[in-house]
Structure 1
């Protein structure tokens, strides 16, 4: 990483803040959102099984419904889009597609591919559902943070919302039992400055051992 690249990344990290007031006239195309999500999914994931799914809300009537499910948070309705990040309890079902793709790209041998598929199919389906949910939730956090930084680098603003009625969300949007909602992310252009926050001194949270 060059010094210039490092400085740019540091600037993006420092300038990203949660925005709750959005310009409701600002819009994003489907293609722009797909580009952001495509980059976001380069985030790390356990065994590269990519245990996430995204629902993108742009229709105003649907966003109004979603706002009521999200405890009337204004940004759900006024942002250009809301991205719901779901976790995949059955991420192991992606295994053949994931490793076949890696093999075809020349990243592993066929023998290695078969070994990884076999190992995944022995391990993940037999893991407790709670364990798989923890893996999916952790990976969803990684992809969500990457999404927000990519958005900021493109001049956009975001805020994550964990506060919404997940049971109502599942019912209203007919979420398959394989998936579970984790966060909502509003995406758009700020209409007012973000409310800045501070952090604890790093010395309070780090120990060198």
Structure 2
């Protein structure tokens, strides 16, 4: 049984910090970015509907535009790329594709597939937009954390940014109504060490019953 001292997972978890100063000359390849996102998609999601989408912004001119939308945060422009994590409030429309693929890959049988599709179609389309957006936002948090850990394992640094004008972002990138921005993740190589940060003691946040 591994301990915290010899666990690669714990090493990556503790090494990951929110980096805001990046080497503007360092560029991550699109192949590396694709691999990071692909690995991150192993994150769980509500009914496996994977209510996430991404825009990966590498173009320098576009990053400069985005900086004005993101409260002038320097890392938007100096990082190698900014990964915009988006939510899909019509995630249920992918249900046939997802569960058919589950059968093809041997994860479930046809009867289970049909049951899951029917259950999804009886619930998600009739949920309010607010409820579906909340589901997508929660799932985006799961995949965002996983993405940052994968990035760190590959030797890259990240920081999440919730402080940006989501209305202007949606307008700039011409998002349809059911696709909405949730968080921006800057990714690149640190040019200065990140600040450490403390955590509240367990006695202040956990109750065992």
TM category, shorter = over 0.9
Name the counterpart of 1:94. 94
* 1:158 partner SS: strand
Deviations 1:116-158 (A, max 9, x none): 1111011100011111111000000000000000001111000
Alignment of 1:20-59 (within 5 A): 20-59=20-59
- Partners of 1:157 and 1:31 lie apart in 2 by 17
Name the counterpart of 2:191. 191
Runs (4+) off by over 6 Å: none
Change (3 A) 1:203 1:5: closer
Contact 2:166 2:181 (8 Å CA) reproduced: yes
Q: Does 1:115 align with 2:112?
A: no
Deviations 1:73-117 (A, max 9, x none): 000000000000001100001101110000011111111111111
What TM-score do you get using the length of structure 1 for normalisation? 0.97
* 1:18 partner SS: coil
Deviations 1:140-184 (A, max 9, x none): 000000000000111100000000001110111101111110000
Name the counterpart of 1:146. 146
Change (3 A) 1:122 1:84: same
* 1:183 partner SS: strand
- Partners of 1:26 and 1:32 lie apart in 2 by 13
Change (3 A) 1:103 1:149: same
- Partners of 2:174 and 2:6 lie apart in 1 by 43
What TM-score do you get using the length of structure 2 for normalisation? 0.97
RMSD (CA atoms): 1.3
* 1:44 partner SS: coil
- Partners of 1:131 and 1:6 lie apart in 2 by 41
Change (3 A) 1:2 1:90: same
Q: Does 1:182 align with 2:182?
A: yes
Per the TM alignment, residue 29 of structure 1 is displaced from its structure 2 partner at its CA by 1.1
Task: Give the number of aligned pairs.
Answer: 209
- Partners of 2:178 and 2:5 lie apart in 1 by 39
